[in-house]
Structure 1
């Protein structure tokens, strides 16, 4: 994975070198490095270093040169030399060293460097992510084994990467056709500049014959990563800062990359224009359209970027103009590189990052886009797609679960290769969380109830209104804990916590709402106004428990508000134990309840109490009848019968 794809600019401070006979060669290497001629600079620095000369600056540049060109084995070698020479490094070098070590399978050393990075960088996002996800390899392992992957069949010995689908064609970038007259090599990579190519897709989304894309789009510089509107008439694509024969440069004389727009007219791509938020002084690239085509996502290092490159979005107005780009924020973006976004019609964003915990280099990650535009937890898609090298440009058809991605992993044909895949199991295990909202006292269904779903930190996820049957439903993730809030006029708002099972299925959560005001008459049970089914005592005891006192406080308050109200307090048991035992126990408990109210200020003349034992069972569960625990529970109850108002 090469620099022109990563969208970042390396800024190097030139340190002085004293006492080296190779000073002239090093200076020569510096010039090439600072002008991004990495391939030549590597040779110069390495020849000097192999003769035994040591310099922190030189080791930094050697490590960076290989790191930026995704040769992590050699990057680890030279970062290792740097660390051995001076272990007091800038935090970024610990991070790059760790990433390089991970890429060559040295996990323990990588984690050691990540710990040092965490200590050095303080509140840096990547450090927080490492601390939060210190067991990230276990998470990646759990997310793996979900894909069948094979070569896409369109790769060359050169770089082939990125892909989009347009009218049953796969459109991708390639550095092939090296024999063309006038085709030039790129200094950073030693390869030819990339152009766009197309390949017809068969019924199985398998690429076929390859042809070069429209000549009006392809130039003598880089073109890559297109995205198309559904009607196929508009495309956005990445190109070096080059338009109408003119090449733009930044203040350091470097040509960056921009996003361009083209329209299809008479089977030709015309009216190629750059987007208004481009600049000569920063890069924008790798555009991706939202399913409704009203938002363009892209990668950039524009002002406001948190790291080396971030993901942004910008509104596409109805008349074709654009809003102001917005950074996607620190849930998605880190101090590292985030690039190659892809938005699915299932409200998911896939992207590549080396800032989130991964296997090395760029990994592919996914996050759900919530209804309010915020993002859910970022998840590594697993070790099928991801490798110790760079993996990026993930594209999936959500109906067939087939797609493509790019990687420079070992075993490929070129520096970057396109692979096709079949996803056999979704990354996120989903369930339906549903239920019916009813009146607590009457069990009447309650249509028109507002039901809201929150995560375990009470961040809002979604809100719906119950239908005519009082029914609500949310799509939730397996194993997660959520909070449900139900609100309806004249009822007390209720919140419930629910933890979803770890496998696919359905979770049912009925919600019973209490009336905010309770209308009662003589003969009614006051306890029903508050959902009091039983005043709880310890087993075989008649002492008021803490949770029972809370319910009695509600009764106490009503009695204080209604000074003429009188209550008959009745305590009931189930049929287990002997008749005499149950009668005595219930009598003691009824009197304990009465005494608690008297102790808290209620005149004894307003209260009566009696224990009925098992004499007033409300179901079949008498002696000798086999019943469930739930059925027995119905008979164990406390009643607060209103005898006067």
Structure 2
């Protein structure tokens, strides 16, 4: 008996140990993930999945771990598995990462669909459709020429900045650094600052460590120098003594520092006062006047994962209060690596604006930010990989940027660029389409097509050609446009054009011949092939099905702006005749008010209550009728009177 009873006990113990082992593996994977050891986290999570342990959290963390290591194909796969889960869908931040992962594998249509879901979820208009994005990228082709340069190593090289006759950049090439100083984020070496000086021909002749005073056993990256080269703002991990300073979550955040070049050495190294505990502040950029410092941060109140901010630098060297650059520039994704030219053009990297994949480089004119557009710089500057840390000299049209695209020497490489076509940040929309006869589908020529802004002012006007085609151009505005087609003998067609579509290449306008004299005295519900509007017994409120029919009446009145109707409302025969008269008047007034609420002019509609005087059947109270028969008498009609 003892042996027989041992089997279930052993089975139970085996199950307990198996569950405990699984729990340990999950905790180990999660610990690696939370410690930013993403390579180890990927290995541990994938091992769990192979053994049959799955959950939205595991898929989401696998997506993040791959995303932050630029493994976008894998990231898209894992995010996709979470996206298919209705019970625990992706949040906005992860949706942005999913969209950019899809873009990085050139699945732009799917990427656009994910972005559209984000905007719909947030109740906003999407800035660009898939087709609109494709056209904007095509417009930028041939704008830049790029070249991988000789200063790159097999390690990560990025974040170039101008200083005097050369550039300073961040690199992980120091081979003398031991493994324990490897950054756990992606198993890359720690970053130091290097400098490279140029010859008159623009080639680099010398590459060396920038400064032992600035380089430490921490990360140093992304510098910004004053024009005289004597003051630098730079990024470094929060320090504690000579090692990492970690916050309450165990994370060593990025901070901004400054230093001054005196007597041949960099001195007075200090944190900037607006660094905040528990948040990262990084990637400085100066304007030409050197009285504004732009930077990236995830401080509380950001639009997304990281936003671009600006802070005033006062004449005495103190700083003002940092300000977020706002929702036009910052999204729910990452905005990072700002750079400002002497013309106040802001270049930055983002994975929140529609792009080719990963981080793309964008530009906007800070002087006219409300009327400017966010410009994706297009190929070959941008790619399916991460493209970032852009700088340019507007006078020479030459500059640099970094990318981890395929074909480089290391994980991140610095590329030289030459601007071949001037950047235009003005925003224009081009509308085109055809005008047709709605009844015959024939093209209509010489139709006046007018584009109105939100205030009703004419922005552009043209006439359709012999093929019924038209084209209009105007500067962008935040509010919607109204497109109107009009021609003698036809009822005009009016379309509201939302800036959220950004796809204006094929807008068909349909005109209907104005010949409705034969319809005078006709109930429009019969002409339109709908039921009359019916009411419930002893009520005057409009039912849902009645409002659907009213929308068709409204559409007809908008199509024929000269048409006028009389609303005639009725009751059944039950109840006192005088009471039924009043009830029908209430029904007529309720119907009239609905049309007025939809911007139908009071000069075009009137109403009258008919009581029980015009029954549609034999139910006059002398015989017994069903409820269905009585219902046919409780109605509103729309009689065309002009």
Q: Please state which band the TM-score falls in when normalised by the shorter chain.
A: 0.5 to 0.7
Q: Which residue in 1 is equivalent to 2:346? A: 349
Q: Which residue in 1 is equivalent to 2:115? A: 114
Q: Which residue in 2 is equivalent to 1:358? A: 355
1:269 aligns with 2:296: no
1:316 Cα deviation (Å)? 0.5
Q: Which residue in 1 is equivalent to 2:23? A: 23
1:425 aligns with 2:421: yes
1:200 aligns with 2:201: no
Q: Which residue in 2 is equivalent to 1:144? A: 141
CA contact (8 A) 2:374 2:425 kept: no
1:391 aligns with 2:387: yes
CA RMSD of aligned residues (A): 2.6
Inter-partner Cα distance in structure 1 for 2:371 and 2:321: 20
Q: Which residue in 1 is equivalent to 2:481? A: none
1:169 Cα deviation (Å)? 1.4
1:55 Cα deviation (Å)? 1.5
Structure 1 residue runs of 5 or longer lacking an equivalent are: 1-17, 432-454, 459-477, 484-645
1:155 Cα deviation (Å)? 1.0
1:50 aligns with 2:50: yes
Q: Which residue in 1 is equivalent to 2:333? A: 336
For residue 401 of structure 2, the aligned residue among 401, 405, 408 is 405
Inter-partner Cα distance in structure 2 for 1:183 and 1:395: 33
CA contact (8 A) 2:285 2:293 kept: yes
1:599-620 CA distance string (max 9 Å, x none): xxxxxxxxxxxxxxxxxxxxxx
CA contact (8 A) 1:103 1:389 kept: yes
1:400 Cα deviation (Å)? 1.1
For the residue of structure 1 that corresponds to 2:126, the secondary structure is helix
1:109 Cα deviation (Å)? 2.8
1:65 aligns with 2:62: no
Inter-partner Cα distance in structure 1 for 2:276 and 2:426: 42
1:128 aligns with 2:126: yes
| Cα distance, 1:426–1:161 mapped onto 2, change above 3 Å | same
CA contact (8 A) 1:91 1:120 kept: no
For residue 318 of structure 1, the aligned residue among 315, 318, 321 is 315
1:358-399 CA distance string (max 9 Å, x none): 11111100001126x767211101121111111100000111
Inter-partner Cα distance in structure 1 for 2:322 and 2:373: 23
Inter-partner Cα distance in structure 2 for 1:383 and 1:33: 34
1:292-336 CA distance string (max 9 Å, x none): 101100001112211111101111110111111011111111111
CA contact (8 A) 2:401 2:415 kept: yes
1:161-176 correspondence to structure 2 within 5 Å? 161-176=158-173
CA contact (8 A) 2:56 2:82 kept: yes
Inter-partner Cα distance in structure 1 for 2:266 and 2:326: 34
| Cα distance, 1:299–1:229 mapped onto 2, change above 3 Å | same
Inter-partner Cα distance in structure 1 for 2:357 and 2:255: 27
Inter-partner Cα distance in structure 1 for 2:179 and 2:411: 22
1:101 aligns with 2:98: no
1:130 Cα deviation (Å)? 4.3
For the residue of structure 2 that corresponds to 1:336, the secondary structure is coil
Inter-partner Cα distance in structure 2 for 1:227 and 1:381: 22
Q: Which residue in 2 is equivalent to 1:40? A: 40
1:21 Cα deviation (Å)? 6.3
CA contact (8 A) 2:160 2:389 kept: yes
Q: Which residue in 2 is equivalent to 1:79? A: 79
CA contact (8 A) 1:228 1:234 kept: yes
1:254 aligns with 2:251: yes
Inter-partner Cα distance in structure 1 for 2:187 and 2:476: 52
For the residue of structure 2 that corresponds to 1:321, the secondary structure is coil
Inter-partner Cα distance in structure 2 for 1:277 and 1:168: 31
1:141 Cα deviation (Å)? 1.5
1:184-583 correspondence to structure 2 within 5 Å? 184-242=181-239, 245=242, 247-370=244-367, 376-428=372-424, 480-481=474-475
CA contact (8 A) 2:115 2:126 kept: no
CA contact (8 A) 1:160 1:414 kept: yes
| Cα distance, 1:411–1:57 mapped onto 2, change above 3 Å | same
Inter-partner Cα distance in structure 1 for 2:426 and 2:107: 35
Inter-partner Cα distance in structure 1 for 2:35 and 2:57: 16
For the residue of structure 1 that corresponds to 2:282, the secondary structure is strand
For the residue of structure 2 that corresponds to 1:129, the secondary structure is coil
| Cα distance, 1:369–1:55 mapped onto 2, change above 3 Å | same
Q: Which residue in 2 is equivalent to 1:551? A: none
1:197-253 CA distance string (max 9 Å, x none): 001112243333210011000010100011111111100000001265364322212
1:33 Cα deviation (Å)? 1.0
For the residue of structure 1 that corresponds to 2:61, the secondary structure is helix
1:108 Cα deviation (Å)? 3.0
Inter-partner Cα distance in structure 1 for 2:295 and 2:183: 23
CA contact (8 A) 1:337 1:355 kept: yes
| Cα distance, 1:430–1:374 mapped onto 2, change above 3 Å | closer
For the residue of structure 2 that corresponds to 1:99, the secondary structure is helix
1:86 Cα deviation (Å)? 4.9
| Cα distance, 1:181–1:75 mapped onto 2, change above 3 Å | closer
For the residue of structure 1 that corresponds to 2:117, the secondary structure is helix
CA contact (8 A) 2:56 2:88 kept: no
| Cα distance, 1:292–1:330 mapped onto 2, change above 3 Å | same
Inter-partner Cα distance in structure 2 for 1:390 and 1:79: 18
CA contact (8 A) 2:371 2:476 kept: no
Inter-partner Cα distance in structure 2 for 1:183 and 1:25: 24
1:479 Cα deviation (Å)? 6.2
1:534-565 CA distance string (max 9 Å, x none): xxxxxxxxxxxxxxxxxxxxxxxxxxxxxxxx
CA contact (8 A) 1:143 1:427 kept: no
CA contact (8 A) 1:114 1:130 kept: no
For the residue of structure 1 that corresponds to 2:303, the secondary structure is coil
CA contact (8 A) 2:192 2:219 kept: yes
| Cα distance, 1:479–1:285 mapped onto 2, change above 3 Å | farther
Inter-partner Cα distance in structure 1 for 2:110 and 2:56: 20
TM-score under structure 1 length normalisation: 0.61
For residue 179 of structure 1, the aligned residue among 176, 190, 208 is 176
| Most deviating of 284-293 and 247-256 | 247-256
Q: How many residues align?
A: 419
Structure 2 residue runs of 5 or longer lacking an equivalent are: 1-17, 428-451, 456-471, 478-642
